[in-house]
Homo-oligomer: A and B are copies of this chain.
Amino acid sequence: MKRATSVDVAREAGVSQTTVSFVLNGRSDMGISESTRSQVLEVAKRLGYVPSASARSLKRGRSNIVLCALPTLPVARALEELKEDLSLQLGAAGFACVFVYTGALSTPLADLLQFLQPDAVLAVGDLAETDRQALDLSAIPFIDGILSPRGPEASAFRQEAIGDLQVSMLVAAGRDRIGYAGLSDPVEQRFYLPRLDGARQACGRLGIAPPLVATLDYTRESAQAALDVWRADESGINGVAAFNDLAALAILAACRVAGVAVPDDMALVGVDDLELAALTSPALSTIRIDVAGATATIVDATLSLLGAPSAHPSRPASTIRFVQRESS
């Protein structure tokens, strides 16, 4: 059973294919009588007619698809939320938001363009140079690094504010010597460095020494090593801001093993508010990122890139919020 085309609908309804097209695209300026109109709609529904996406985008020159390229990143709640928000808001604007995995391992973005012609590309990480060129050649606009600020359009996510808030809350809780847990993973640097900068600035503003940085990967040993670094410091680190909850939880476990009491000996603040942050003992204080506002900004930038009208006159930026639990 082949799928119905607009010609099928036309034949069945006893009109021309042109008329079917006019009716289904709601072109009221073309003078279609009400009886013909409803007749066509009825037949279209009866035959289960769905316009061919290929034919439509071939003719129109746009596909109404926005492609979102994802790198391989460890779990991040904010990112998950962003993905669903993007789907939702772009969907409301008449675009389909589809996701692909690109990275060293996966198919390069350039190869996908022979199958899929998005109107725009949003990349969470940075795009490879070859991918950039491929997009330029196909005249597809893109925004990369959408989670950290660079272009004006992406300034919705102020990663610096996160590090700042972490330190501020640690200091407010009476800590005066801060450690910062960063990550060695290169993909994460894009988020890590701005957050660390924010933490540094907060230390300066609050008149305490800059944070003592230790980097870890997601292993127990590296968390242990970081803890050792902080404890060996003669100034006596008593508060740690971690790049994200995963790192914070690794440190939390290292503290337990080493007999360091949290929060008494060492306060700890993560970022992301994973489900698990509330489930550990002690429960993890963290920064919750509300991406909904920021998504609007990204969607806005995307739509203006496409010359589409934007539906968000006011642009609330991403808001962040300290979630106090037991670890600080």
Give chain A's interface residues, CB within 8 Å of chain B. Answer: 1-3, 48, 50-58, 63-65, 67, 72, 74-75, 80, 83-84, 87-88, 91, 95-101, 105-107, 111-117, 134, 137-139, 218-220, 223, 246, 249-250, 253-254, 256-257, 274-276, 278-281, 283
| Copies of the protein in its oligomer | 2
Partner of A279, one of B75, B84, B253: B253
Most chain B beta-carbon contacts within 10 A, residue among A1, A48, A64, A101: A101
Cα distance, A88 to B249, chains bound together (Å):
31
A54 touches B51 (CB 8 A): no
Cα distance, A77 to B165, chains bound together (Å):
30
Residues of B within 8 A of A137 (CB): 3, 48, 50
Return A305 CB to nearest CB of chain B, in Å.
16
Name A's interface SS.
mixed
Determine the residue in chain B with the shortest Cβ distance to A280: B253
B134 touches A106 (CB 8 A): no
B138 touches A50 (CB 8 A): yes
Cα distance, A281 to B55, chains bound together (Å):
58
Cα distance, A83 to B113, chains bound together (Å):
19
B84 touches A117 (CB 8 A): no
Cα distance, A111 to B65, chains bound together (Å):
12
Using known A-B contacts A48-B137, A137-B48, A279-B253, determine if residue A115 contacts B96 with beta carbons closer than 8 Å. yes
Which 6 A-B residue pairs are closest in the complex by CB-CB distance?
A48-B137, A96-B115, A54-B58, A91-B107, A253-B281, A99-B99
B283 touches A113 (CB 8 A): no
Return A12 CB to nearest CB of chain B, in Å.
15
Cα distance, A138 to B52, chains bound together (Å):
9
Determine the residue in chain B with the shortest Cβ distance to A111: B91
